[in-house]
Structure formats: C-alpha cells, structure tokens
Structure 1
Amino acid sequence: MSDKDWLDAVRWDAQGLVTAVVQEAGSGDVLMVAWMNRDALARTRELGEAVFWSRSRKRLWHKGEESGHVQKVESIRLDCDGDVLLLTVRQLGHEPPIACHTGRHSCFFRELQGGDWTSVAPVLKDPEDIYR
C-alpha cells in the first residue's frame, strides 16, 4: 500500500476530519478524544508523536507544543468502518502523566453519580503552571 492509499482508506467526514481516541499504552486508560485531518494523521506518522486538528484554533496542534505533555505514538489503528482512529501512546512530559488541559491524567475525569457529574480524578498540576 502506498503512502496515499493508507490515507485514502480513512473515511473522512464532510469537514475532512476523523475522530481519534487516544489510549495510554500499559494502563489502557482512555486519555482523550480529538480530531485529525489528513495532514495531522500524516504528520503523526512522520513524527511518531500525536498531532491533531484543533477545531477551535483551526490549525494543526502538536500535542504538548505548549504544555510539554507530548504523546509518543506506539500504534495507530483504524476501526472496522474506517471512521475512527485509535492511537496508543506513551504520555511524556510529567510524572505522573498528564493528558488533559485541566492538569489531570485523563480528560475523562467526571463520572455521573446520581444526577450529577462528579470529578473522580485529582488535578495533578495546576493548569496555570502548565500554560503560561
């Protein structure tokens, strides 16, 4: 399969994006969900580090470019429908690892308990110390 063919196998949405689920190697924790376009996916493969498409900033976003919390990509998988990617990563830049802009290990830190969303994971580092 040529370089072009592997990108063409992805079912991009109408905006040219695909959902990317990011899972931590070792623990299996889901760290975050983001979006990738063709350039982000190609750049991720080239660098071996996660690069996403920021819908709010309307530009490529190399994870860790501001925070230093880089995601080293161990594998990239495509689901059976071709419309979701699974990136297995090693989270670098802080011990314990931080993936969320809130300073938590994972973006999935709120759990539905009764009728309320309750934070069930601690802030590992104050976001003001991460993003200056």
Structure 2
Amino acid sequence: MDAPSRRTILTGAAAGLATVAGCAKYGEPKPTPQPAPADTVLGKTEDIPVGGGQIFAPQQVVVTQPVQGTFKAFSSICTHQSCPVASVASGTINCDCHGSKYSIKDGSVVNGPAPRPLPPKQIKISGDAITLT
C-alpha cells in the first residue's frame, strides 16, 4: 500500500479546519460577565465630571452627572449587540462597536443602531461615595 501524498494530507487537514470554522457562530453577541453584587462602592462623586460620566467596567455600570449634584446610573452594556460602552463624552455614553450613543440624562438612544435605551441601575449617594444598590 502506498503512503498518502503530502497533497492528500494537506487537503484533508484544510477540509477539517474548514468544517470546524464553519461551526463557529458569526455575528452573535458575546456573553458578558455577571455584574457585581449590590451594595458595591463604585467610586466618589468628585470622580464624575459634570456633563460627563465614568464607566465602571467590572460592575457593568456607567455613572453620569448631567447637571451639578444629579447622578444617574445605567447598564454599561450596549443594547445593540451587547458590547461594553467605551466612553462618555459630549453629553453621550458611546459604544464603539457600531456607533450607538445614549443620553447621559436618561440613557435614551441618541444615535442608533441601538434599539432600546440603556437600562437604569440603582445607586445611592452617601457623603461622597457612590454605591451600587
């Protein structure tokens, strides 16, 4: 019996890899880690700029201060394809994956393709501490 040629082996290997690659899911959202438990101290009020905000990635929360002394919190996971939002600037919470933008005032969609607002999160301000409740 003759040994298989190098071409036969490489062709078989390439076909096997193509089969495995074909099983991968394309375009589906990536699973996101579980959010932090309630009563987690996120930071200090002085760290949240007026007219801006800060993303707390491990807790999946973005905290904003639309006007002096008013703090809002929202999920930091984009409602389009579950990417984490990347920044807070110029009055919006921004997702770099596909360009969605949300209002720092109420989490509403300012620019799609996001289909829904960011869900609100409950926070408590105690002194200068911001706590996720």
TM-score range, shorter chain: under 0.3
TM-score, length-scaled by structure 2: 0.27
Structure number, greater radius of gyration: 2
TM-score, length-scaled by structure 1: 0.27
